[in-house]
């Protein structure tokens, strides 16, 4: 069996199962072994019953106390019993397992591992795994069991078994890193790492395996970036854009004064475009810092020189929003420049007309989505390409975009908070500008971290805000196990909420499985205030600007990385009204509260990310992925900053020595499907 073999060659994987694997993007054995667990169950030492904490999965050892009882309806039989140790007693329940009454008839000592919840104010362990007699727990203790992201119909067990079989039967490929690099950085060998990431015998093995794989992933990415940089570096500026008095005039006439940071960045951009070499610049700025206007100034300068500038956004909604704002600005200031919209959902006829106007040079500012880089589009004189919310685009897409011109200026806008040292590595081919100041007129967002007991109060508060004409967002609990469940979840939640809110309020909902056109429709209804509460998964996160929305409530806030929560929070606080963010947590655990309190105290994205990292420490690899935005398979740029730095050093080394290995791996360029 080789990596390219179809997974249906594995025992026990028939047509149906293989289709389910397909849904996860797994078709070959190679895909399967690179489908890394999303987490691990750790079988830790049992804890005293007296110290159990609500919301956690824990293990206890105790003596069976009293009788085992079966109650509930025929449909859902509940078996309950009590176990006891020196520190307390614990109620334990199982669903649909009445036969346990016989199992435990002998009494004695038992070890149980499960989630601790609060039922009618009593701490209860729900549906735990059973080790009876207790000695059985010894075999599993300290081991890490992989937990895979699943899809409906596919169990964790099935995936685990398939991986195990694949690793056993696969003619494993040889080492992929040069030996010198591997030894220099003390990295585990490839095959060891692959086994170790799926089935680590202990935490030590897991750390070694993970470090090795993350290193490789970063190295690939960095090398791809270096290639891109080499190609672009010091390219002669074919499109010299001098400072334009009309643009300066526009800046003076804007309804607001640019912040100091916006002025500084605009200076940097216009200096770049007027210089001898072509611009490659990243503009980083927190949500709401006003990046768009800076990009628009650049586009306008280009257009006024008779050339074309294009801005690409990650979603249709955002593209339309930019287009509407730009057209409005041009009209208000009577600037004779033609803007054009180009998105995937336009009809063939609409598209053709747009293509024509772009090709003949009539359209000067082109706003769109991925449609902008498709083959059918030809530009007349493309001098500037802007990508908004860059973290959603891959390096290759950016390159494809740039190829549409001769060598156009490149401007990349990103709200991802990254410390400068990391940004230099991750955006290796770009100069960096930072907008580190928010417009002065903003009221800071008021935050609160609350538990689910506060939900009724929160709904009441929303009703009140809506009665004052405002709008709200609710981010639904995430369902990591499956996208399918996530959709159901959002639908159920909004139905429930509609009931709760009554007929005077319209609740809309948004999720990742909807068609683009549907999403756009919902977003536009929300923008027109035809929907007052928008229930959504995290698809809402990027760039949307509805100034009238003042409340953001995030369910299960403990499951998100702080940087992502901060992005979500950035959807409110964009207008003149006071805005609020409610972080609802399902857990009362102390650390959760402490983490979320960082958000409570700060509105500064950069600070938040580094604080979170400090609080959790680099050792916490089971934690939540911090960035949520950068799509590395395993690596996390915050958490694994040290590995990233090492990989960067290794890239330098390999390039310096002009290592043979670089030539031997031609496909390195194409594996960088990483998103930044």
What is 278-316 written as a DSSP string?
Answer: --EEEEEE-TTS-HHHHHHHHHHHHHHTT-EEEEE-SSH
Comparing CB distances to Mg ion, the nearer of 49 and 319 is 319
How far is the C-alpha of 201 from the C-alpha of 192, rounded, in Å? Answer: 12
Residue 342 pairs in a beta bridge with 368
Classify burial at 74, counting beta carbons within 10 Å of its beta carbon; exposed 0-12, middle 13-18, buried 19 or more.
exposed
Runs of H (alpha helix) within 170-259: 179-184, 190-198, 203-232, 245-253
Stretch that binds ligand ADP, among 12-20, 61-69, 254-262, 346-354 (CB under 6 A): 254-262
Tokens, residue 158: 């099935």
The single residue among 197, 287, 535, 629 that binds ligand ADP, judged by CB under 6 A, is 287
For residue 290, state whether it binds ligand ADP (rule: CB under 6 A).
Answer: yes
Q: Which one of ligand ADP, Mg ion, none interacts with residue 441, CB within 5 to 8 A by kind?
A: ligand ADP
Q: Which one of ligand ADP, Mg ion, none interacts with residue 344, CB within 5 to 8 A by kind?
A: none
Answer for the pair 90, 123: CB distance below 8 angstroms, yes or no: yes
Q: Which one of ligand ADP, Mg ion, none interacts with residue 405, CB within 5 to 8 A by kind?
A: none
For residue 259, state whether it binds ligand ADP (rule: CB under 6 A).
Answer: yes
Site for Mg ion in 518-577 (CB under 5 A): 543
Closest listed residue to residue 51, CA positions, set 92, 94, 93, 86 = 86
Smallest gap, in angstroms, from Cβ of residue 287 to ligand ADP?
Answer: 4
Q: If phi over 0 gives left and psi between -120 and 50 gives alpha, with beta otherwise, what is residue 361?
A: left
Smallest gap, in angstroms, from Cβ of residue 291 to Mg ion?
Answer: 5
391: DSSP letter:
G
Size of the site for Mg ion (CB under 5 A): 1
Comparing CB distances to Mg ion, the nearer of 211 and 388 is 388
Comparing CB distances to Mg ion, the nearer of 270 and 390 is 390
CA torsion sign, 322 to 327 to 332 to 333? positive
Q: Which one of ligand ADP, Mg ion, none interacts with residue 494, CB within 5 to 8 A by kind?
A: none
Comparing CB distances to Mg ion, the nearer of 543 and 573 is 543
Comparing CB distances to Mg ion, the nearer of 26 and 310 is 310
For residue 605, state whether it binds ligand ADP (rule: CB under 6 A).
Answer: no
Stretch that binds ligand ADP, among 163-171, 280-288, 576-584, 643-651 (CB under 6 A): 280-288
**At 41, which helix (H) or strand (E)?**
strand 39-42
Site for ligand ADP in 522-551 (CB under 6 A): 545
Size of the site for ligand ADP (CB under 6 A): 17
SS3 251: helix
For residue 394, state whether it binds ligand ADP (rule: CB under 6 A).
Answer: no
Tokens, residue 264: 């500084």
For residue 289, state whether it binds ligand ADP (rule: CB under 6 A).
Answer: yes
Stretch that binds ligand ADP, among 9-17, 258-266, 556-564, 645-653 (CB under 6 A): 258-266
User: CB neighbours of 412 closer than 8 A, spacing ≥ 6?
Assistant: 281, 282, 283, 386, 387, 390, 398, 427, 430
Answer for the pair 45, 207: CB distance below 8 angstroms, yes or no: no
> Taking the CB of residue 463, how many other CB atoms lie within 10 A of it?
18
For residue 285, state whether it binds ligand ADP (rule: CB under 6 A).
Answer: yes
Q: Which one of ligand ADP, Mg ion, none interacts with residue 227, CB within 5 to 8 A by kind?
A: none
Smallest gap, in angstroms, from Cβ of residue 550 to ligand ADP?
Answer: 14
Give the residue nearest to ligand ADP (CB).
Answer: 290
Kindly list the residues in this chain that would bind ligand ADP in the complex (CB under 6 A).
256, 258-259, 262, 285, 287-293, 415, 439, 441, 545, 574
Binding stretches for Mg ion (CB under 5 A): 543
């Amino acid at each position: 069996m080789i990596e390219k073999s179809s997974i249906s060659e594995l025992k026990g994987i028939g047509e149906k199962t293989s289709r389910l694997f397909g849904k996860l993007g797994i078709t070959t054995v190679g895909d399967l072994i690179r489908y890394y667990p999303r987490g691990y169950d750790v079988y830790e030492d049992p804890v005293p019953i007296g110290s159990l904490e609500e919301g956690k999965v824990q293990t206890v050892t105790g003596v069976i106390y009293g009788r085992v009882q079966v109650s509930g309806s025929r449909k859902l039989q509940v078996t309950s019993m009590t176990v006891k140790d020196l520190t307390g007693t614990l109620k334990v329940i199982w669903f649909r397992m009445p036969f346990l009454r016989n199992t435990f008839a002998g009494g004695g000592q038992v070890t149980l591992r499960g989630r601790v919840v609060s039922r009618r104010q009593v701490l209860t362990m729900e549906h735990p795994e059973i080790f009876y007699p207790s000695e059985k727990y010894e075999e599993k203790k300290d081991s890490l069991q992989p937990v895979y992201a699943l899809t409906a119909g596919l169990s964790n067990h099935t995936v685990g078994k398939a991986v195990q079989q694949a690793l056993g039967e696969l003619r494993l490929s040889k080492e992929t890193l040069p030996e010198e690099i591997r030894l220099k950085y003390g990295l585990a060998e490839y095959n060891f790492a692959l086994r170790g990431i799926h089935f680590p015998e202990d935490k030590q093995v897991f750390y070694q395996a993970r470090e090795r794989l993350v290193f490789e992933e970063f190295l690939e990415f960095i090398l791809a970036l270096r290639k891109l940089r080499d190609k672009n570096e010091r390219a002669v500026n074919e499109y010299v854009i001098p400072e334009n008095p009309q643009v300066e005039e526009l800046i003076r006439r804007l309804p607001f004064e640019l912040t100091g940071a916006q002025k500084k960045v605009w200076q940097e951009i216009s200096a770049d475009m007027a210089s001898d070499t072509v611009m490659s610049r990243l503009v980083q700025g927190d949500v709401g810092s006003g990046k768009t206007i800076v990009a628009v100034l650049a586009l306008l300068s280009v257009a006024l020189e008779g050339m074309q500038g294009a801005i690409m956004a990650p979603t249709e909604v955002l593209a339309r929003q930019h287009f509407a704002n730009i057209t409005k600005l041009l009209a208000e200031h009577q600037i004779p420049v033609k803007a054009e919209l180009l998105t995937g959902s336009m009809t063939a006829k609409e598209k053709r007309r747009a293509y024509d106007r772009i090709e003949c040079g009539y359209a000067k500012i082109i706003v769109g989505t991925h449609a902008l880089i498709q083959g059918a589009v030809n530009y007349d004189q493309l001098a500037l390409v802007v990508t908004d919310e860059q973290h959603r685009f891959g390096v290759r897409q950016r390159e494809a975009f740039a190829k549409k011109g001769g060598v156009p200026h490149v401007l990349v806008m990103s709200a991802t908070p990254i410390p400068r040292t990391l940004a230099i590595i991750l955006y290796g081919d770009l100069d960096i500008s930072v907008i580190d100041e928010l417009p002065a007129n903003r009221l800071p967002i008021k935050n609160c971290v609350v538990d689910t007991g506060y939900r009724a109060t929160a709904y009441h508060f929303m009703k009140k805000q809506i009665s004052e004409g405002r709008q709200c967002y609710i981010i639904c609990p995430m369902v990591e196990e499956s996208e399918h469940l996530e959709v159901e979840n959002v639908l159920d939640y909004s139905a429930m909420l509609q009931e709760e809110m009554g007929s005077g309020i319209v609740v809309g909902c948004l999720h990742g499985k909807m068609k683009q056109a549907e999403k756009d429709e919902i977003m536009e209804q929300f923008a027109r205030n035809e929907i007052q509460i928008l229930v959504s998964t995290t698809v809402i996160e990027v760039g949307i600007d509805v100034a009238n929305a003042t409340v953001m409530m995030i369910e299960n806030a403990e499951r998100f990385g702080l940087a992502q929560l901060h992005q979500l929070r950035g959807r409110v606080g964009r207008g003149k009204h006071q805005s609020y963010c409610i972080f609802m947590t399902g857990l009362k655990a102390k650390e959760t509260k402490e983490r979320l309190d960082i958000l409570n105290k700060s509105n500064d994205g950069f600070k938040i990310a580094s604080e979170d990292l400090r609080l959790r420490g680099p050792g916490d690899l089971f934690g939540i992925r911090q960035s949520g935005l950068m799509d590395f398979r395993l690596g996390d740029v915050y958490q694994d900053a040290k590995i990233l730095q090492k990989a960067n050093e290794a890239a330098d080394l390999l390039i310096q020595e002009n290592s043979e290995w670089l030539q031997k791996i031609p496909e390195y360029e194409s594996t960088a499907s990483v998103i930044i």
